[in-house]
Chain A
């Protein structure tokens, strides 16, 4: 009985934060958000920017969904999630265009496509709509950072092999034969 009572309380904020980093990592464990994972991990700067943009959207949408969770009507909840996510993706896109224009141009359509990242709608359904604001916020931070970590780890493998560089700084000798295939999306596999 006591165990059931504890279980009903849901996860603690700290646990929500930690599980997203590795135990339920979106890229390596849940295989969510594969579109950006395939598309923008050819270099670390792009991966980091995409990860941070996704984290921003994840945090904002999870917190807003959590705040209105008691008002959500069953069959309209997915519509509300999408509306919320689309709003924050538009804001993230505008912020990138204003403050990181080169990165925004490089990421191209993959920023607006954060809207269809199933990690975000998945967390809105699994966490935001069922937990309080603090837990939802921590869950989003954990999941977002875990997602960013996943993208950056892949980029840290691909960029040195593709360009002999990391963060754009070339460290491999000129004699190192660049693997152009690592820049292509199929290299993710």
Chain B
């Protein structure tokens, strides 16, 4: 016992001191880190829904009783759409998105990437926003239904918003399909939960 304490007291004491140090820094910075995440989320939602919207945070329970958070976009007292976070597997790591739809779940208003580690130069083209980008293809597309989901094709007309076809990023078909699947699954789930409310 004495030898054990002689050998290991430094490890035990250091663990306590280092643990307190990390906890202290975490405590000091946690508020700022959380604020950064919220600012990013709010900016993405405002960009997707338009500048004059305000957002009300609400929850809904899924079939298993799990609470899902969503945001109701309101303009002049009217509900203009919904935003919700969605997550799924990408090519390199998980992909986390904010997905936006109109209030009747008829048109998709697009998505914004909250987290991804897709391949630089290829899969990371899911991130940029603006005209001609991959994310732009989702803006104004019809919302997926169980019988007609958004599908990825390798060639097609990127400007056509009436069909459910999404043209894949060249060299990043898996990332394109992953994003489209996340958008499909999340909209179908939220449509079922919110429209039946």
CB pair B120–A83 under 8 Å, yes or no, is no
Q: Which residues of B contact A181 (CB under 8 A)?
A: 121
Residues of A in contact, count (CB < 8 Å): 28
CB pair A83–B33 under 8 Å, yes or no, is no
* Minimal beta-carbon separation of B143 from chain A (angstroms): 28
Is A80 positioned at the interface, with any CB of B under 8 Å from its CB? yes
Residue of A nearest to B17 (CB): A87
CB pair B21–A183 under 8 Å, yes or no, is no
Q: Which residues of B contact A183 (CB under 8 A)?
A: 120-121
Q: Which residues of A contact B14 (CB under 8 A)?
A: 68, 80, 83-84
* Minimal beta-carbon separation of B91 from chain A (angstroms): 13
Is B195 positioned at the interface, with any CB of A under 8 Å from its CB? no
Kindly count the residue-residue contacts between A and B in the assembled complex, taking CB atoms under 8 Å apart. 65
Say yes or no: A105-B115 contact (C-beta < 8 A), given A84-B18, A87-B22, A98-B33.
Answer: yes
CB pair A91–B93 under 8 Å, yes or no, is no
Is A109 positioned at the interface, with any CB of B under 8 Å from its CB? yes
B11, B14, B15, B122, most chain A CB atoms within 10 A: B14
Q: Which residues of B contact A95 (CB under 8 A)?
A: 25, 29
Q: Is the interface of B mostly helix, strand, loop or mixed?
A: helix
CB pair A94–B33 under 8 Å, yes or no, is yes
Is A42 positioned at the interface, with any CB of B under 8 Å from its CB? yes
Q: How large is the interface on B (under 10, 10 to 19, 20 to 34, 35 or more residues)?
A: 20 to 34
CB pair A83–B29 under 8 Å, yes or no, is no
* Minimal beta-carbon separation of A140 from chain B (angstroms): 18
Q: Which residues of B contact A105 (CB under 8 A)?
A: 115
CB pair B29–A98 under 8 Å, yes or no, is yes
Bound-state Cα–Cα, A80 to B12, Å: 10
Instruction: Give the residues from 66 to 98 in chain A that come closer than 8 angstroms, CB to CB, to chain B.
Output: 68, 71-73, 76, 79-80, 83-84, 86-87, 90-91, 94-95, 97-98
Bound-state Cα–Cα, A83 to B19, Å: 10
CB pair A72–B120 under 8 Å, yes or no, is no
Say yes or no: A97-B29 contact (C-beta < 8 A), given A42-B120, A183-B121.
Answer: yes
Bound-state Cα–Cα, A101 to B29, Å: 12
Residue of A nearest to B22 (CB): A90
Is A10 positioned at the interface, with any CB of B under 8 Å from its CB? no
Instruction: Give the residues from 157 to 195 in chain B that come closer than 8 angstroms, CB to CB, to chain A.
Output: 171
* Minimal beta-carbon separation of B83 from chain A (angstroms): 19
**Residue of A97, A99, A101, A180 touching B122 (CB-CB under 8 A):** A180
A76, A86, A101, A109, most chain B CB atoms within 10 A: A101
Residue of A nearest to B18 (CB): A87
CB pair A98–B36 under 8 Å, yes or no, is yes
CB pair A80–B11 under 8 Å, yes or no, is yes
Is A162 positioned at the interface, with any CB of B under 8 Å from its CB? yes
Is B59 positioned at the interface, with any CB of A under 8 Å from its CB? no
User: Interface digits, B14-35 against A, CB 8 Å rule (1 contact, 0 not)?
Assistant: 1100100110011001001100
3 residue pairs, one from A and one from B, having the closest CB atoms: A183-B121, A87-B18, A183-B120
Q: A83-B15, A183-B120 are in contact. List 15 more A-B contacts (CB 8 A).
A: A42-B121, A68-B10, A68-B14, A72-B10, A73-B7, A76-B8, A83-B11, A94-B29, A95-B25, A97-B33, A97-B36, A98-B33, A108-B117, A109-B117, A183-B121
